[in-house]
Amino acid sequence: MERARPVVVAGAGMAGLTMALELARRDIASIVVERAPRLEEVGAGLQLSPNALRVLARLGRLDDLKARGTVAETVTLRRGDTGRPIASVPVAADDGTPYLSIHRADLQAWLADAVAASPLVDLRLGTGITGVTQHGGGIRTDISAAGGDGSLHAPLLIAADGVNSPISRMLGLGEAVATGALAWRGRIADLSALPPPAGIEAWLGPRRHAVAYPIAGGRETNLVLIEPATDMTDAADLARRFDRWDRRLGAMIAAVGSFTAWPLKGVPPQRSWRHLDDRLILIGDAAHGMLPYAAQGAAMAIEDAAVLADHLDRAPSLPAALRGYEAERRPRIDRVRARVAFHRRVYHLPFPLSLARNAVLARRSPDSLARDLAWLYDWYPPRG
Ligand SMILES: Cc1cc2nc3c(=O)[nH]c(=O)nc-3n(C[C@H](O)[C@H](O)[C@H](O)COP(=O)(O)OP(=O)(O)OC[C@H]3O[C@@H](n4cnc5c(N)ncnc54)[C@H](O)[C@@H]3O)c2cc1C
Model pLDDT for residues 57-90, shown as the tens digit of each residue: 999 899 999 999 999 999 999 999 999 999 999 9
With a CB cutoff of 8 Å and minimum separation 6, the contacts of 26 are: 309, 310, 312, 313, 384
Beta strands at 220-228 and 177-188: parallel, antiparallel or unpaired: antiparallel
- Structure confidence at residue 130 (pLDDT): 96
- Domain presence at residue 183: no
Is a pLDDT exceeding 80 seen at residue 56?
A: yes
Assign 204 a pLDDT band (cuts: 50, 70, 90). Answer: very high
Return the closest-CA partner of residue 31 out of 165, 152, 162.
Answer: 152
CA of 323 to the centre of ligand 1 (A): 24
Is a pLDDT exceeding 80 seen at residue 249?
A: yes
- Domain presence at residue 254: no
Assign 4 a pLDDT band (cuts: 50, 70, 90). Answer: confident
Nearest CA to ligand 1 atom 52: 292
- Domain presence at residue 225: no
For the chain, what is the mean pLDDT?
95
Domain total in the chain: 1
Return the closest-CA partner of residue 343 out of 361, 328, 330.
Answer: 361
Is a pLDDT exceeding 80 seen at residue 1?
A: no
Q: For residue 379, what are the CA distances in angstroms to 104, 299, 346?
A: 22, 11, 24
Determine contact, residues 9/20, Cβ cutoff 8 Å: yes
Is a pLDDT exceeding 90 seen at residue 41?
A: no
- Domain presence at residue 198: no
Is a pLDDT exceeding 90 seen at residue 3?
A: no
Question: What is the Cα gyration radius of the chain?
Answer: 21
Question: Which ligand 1 atom is nearest residue 224's CA?
Answer: 1
- Domain presence at residue 223: no
**How confident is the model over 336-350, as a mean pLDDT?**
96
**How confident is the model over 254-266, as a mean pLDDT?**
93
- Whole-angstrom distance, CA of residue 63 vs CA of residue 79: 34
- Structure confidence at residue 44 (pLDDT): 87
Beta strands at 30-33 and 7-10: parallel, antiparallel or unpaired: parallel
Residue 285 Cβ contacting ligand 1 at under 6 Å:
yes
With a CB cutoff of 8 Å and minimum separation 6, the contacts of 272 are: 173
Assign 192 a pLDDT band (cuts: 50, 70, 90). Answer: confident
Pocket probe mutation, ligand 1, options 35, 56, 182, 302, max atoms within 8 Å of Cβ: 35
Q: Which residues are catalytic?
A: 213
Q: What's the angle, vertex CA 138, arms to CA 136 and CA 144, rounded to 5?
A: 100
Return the closest-CA partner of residue 221 out of 250, 258, 195, 242.
Answer: 195
- Structure confidence at residue 233 (pLDDT): 67
Q: Which segment of 7-16, 254-263, 276-285 scores lowest on mean pLDDT?
A: 254-263
Give the helix/strand (H/E) hosting 221: strand 220-228
The whole domain housing 31 covers 7-177+266-377
Return the closest-CA partner of residue 12 out of 99, 116, 103, 133.
Answer: 116
- Structure confidence at residue 231 (pLDDT): 62
- Whole-angstrom distance, CA of residue 203 vs CA of residue 225: 9
Question: Which ligand 1 atom is nearest residue 101's CA?
Answer: 8
- Whole-angstrom distance, CA of residue 262 vs CA of residue 179: 12
**How confident is the model over 334-353, as a mean pLDDT?**
96
Partner residues linked to 79 by β-bridges: 204
- Domain presence at residue 17: yes
With a CB cutoff of 8 Å and minimum separation 6, the contacts of 178 are: 229, 263, 264, 265
Is a pLDDT exceeding 80 seen at residue 268?
A: yes
Return the closest-CA partner of residue 157 out of 176, 173, 134.
Answer: 134
The Cβ of residue 182 has, within 10 Å, a number of other Cβ atoms equal to 18
- Domain presence at residue 71: yes
- Domain presence at residue 298: yes
Beta strands at 200-205 and 74-79: parallel, antiparallel or unpaired: parallel
The percentage of the chain sitting over the pLDDT mark of 90, rounded to a whole number, equals: 89
Residue 119 belongs to domain with CATH number? 3.50.50.60
